[in-house]
């Protein structure tokens, strides 16, 4: 009887938590609909802090910040939504629109077409997505080779051999992509300039040479950290140093 009561109590608590989450989310959405964007953003931030992350939360938060004319925070949260759900089309579209308002027009350095293609391919799925793909293809490989061993005709055995071989190669590529995507999620190398105008220095010191300026919303890659400074790289290949408090990692 005691165990039953404890189980019921746990279910009751869980139900209340879920209800509270839903109620807060609904309230945030209502505030957004009422054009109270700053208040809505505050509630979305509270949900993320207390209950955990979700692509929809980051997307809604990005929209609230965009409507509040906080461009850098909007871009940051659209990017975070896409880190969790790379195929989130609404987030992609809104990010593309927001990026058009960024002052810095950074011309991306030309990359080898194969590297660019592989990079785009990897971003189609999350780390878990690629892992599940690898497992499914590996099982398919085992089935194909079993049928190959016990196949009744030469044509069937030949077909299943090549099918299994290709599945194995794709499975290996998928598990590799999963590892790379996991590393990207953990390391958070990409970051967004959060201040209005930031001077990129030639050394990790305020007295360092001014190299160039970046404006809020610009995307950078963090190479290393030294004290209160990040060594960063732009899409066009330029490298410099920026104070940590001027940026936020995606």
CB count within 10 Å of CB 113 equals 8
- Chain CA centroid to CA 187, Å: 11
158-173 mean pLDDT: 91
CATH code for the part of the protein at 2-99:
1.25.40.10
Q: How confident is the model at residue 72 (pLDDT cuts 50, 70, 90)?
A: very high
Tell me: pLDDT of 97 over 50: yes
Tell me: pLDDT of 232 over 70: yes
Query: Each residue of 119-154: pLDDT tens digit?
Result: 778 878 888 889 999 999 999 999 988 888 887 788
Angle at 62 between CA 60 and CA 65, to 5 degrees: 110
Tell me: pLDDT of 109 over 50: yes
Query: In whole angstroms, what is the distance from residue 22 CA to residue 142 CA?
Result: 44
Q: Domain boundaries in the chain?
A: 2-99, 113-187, 190-249
Tell me: pLDDT of 108 over 70: no
Neighbouring-strand partners of residue 239: 233
Query: Comparing C-alpha atoms, which of 191, 183, 185 is closest to residue 219?
Result: 191
Tokens of 235: 């899409």
Query: In whole angstroms, what is the distance from residue 60 CA to residue 74 CA?
Result: 9
**Alpha carbon separation from 65 to 60, 70, 112 (Å, rounded):** 9, 5, 36
Tell me: pLDDT of 2 over 60: no
Q: Which fold has domain 190-249?
A: SH3 type barrels. (2.30.30)
Query: In whole angstroms, what is the distance from residue 247 CA to residue 249 CA?
Result: 7
The packing angle between helices 154-187 and 113-122, to 10°, is: 80
Tell me: pLDDT of 66 over 90: yes
Q: Tell me if 102 sits within 8 A of 153, measured CB to CB.
A: no
């Amino acid at each position: 009887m005691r165990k039953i009561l404890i189980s019921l109590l746990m279910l009751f608590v869980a139900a209340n938590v879920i209800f509270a989450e839903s109620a807060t989310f609904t309230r945030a959405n209502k505030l957004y609909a009422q054009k109270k964007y700053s208040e809505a953003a505050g509630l979305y931030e509270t949900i993320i802090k207390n209950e955990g992350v979700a692509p929809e939360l980051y997307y809604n938060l990005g929209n609230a910040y965009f409507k509040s004319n906080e461009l850098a925070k909007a871009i940051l949260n659209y990017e975070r939504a896409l880190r969790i759900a790379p195929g989130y089309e609404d987030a992609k579209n809104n990010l593309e629109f927001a990026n058009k308002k960024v002052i810095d027009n950074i011309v991306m350095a030309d990359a080898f077409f194969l590297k660019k293609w592989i990079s785009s391919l990897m971003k189609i799925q999350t780390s878990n997505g690629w892992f599940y793909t690898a497992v499914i293809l590996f099982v398919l490989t085992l089935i194909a080779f079993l049928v190959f061993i016990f196949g009744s005709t030469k044509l069937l055995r030949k077909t299943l051999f090549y099918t299994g071989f290709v599945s194995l190669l794709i499975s290996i590529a998928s598990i590799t992509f999963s590892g790379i995507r996991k590393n990207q999620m953990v390391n958070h190398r990409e970051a967004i300039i959060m201040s209005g105008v930031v001077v990129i220095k030639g050394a990790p010191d305020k007295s360092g040479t001014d190299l160039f300026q970046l404006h809020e919303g610009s995307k950078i890659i963090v190479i290393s950290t030294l004290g209160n400074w990040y060594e960063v790289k732009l899409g066009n290949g330029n490298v410099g140093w920026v104070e940590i408090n001027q940026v936020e990692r995606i």
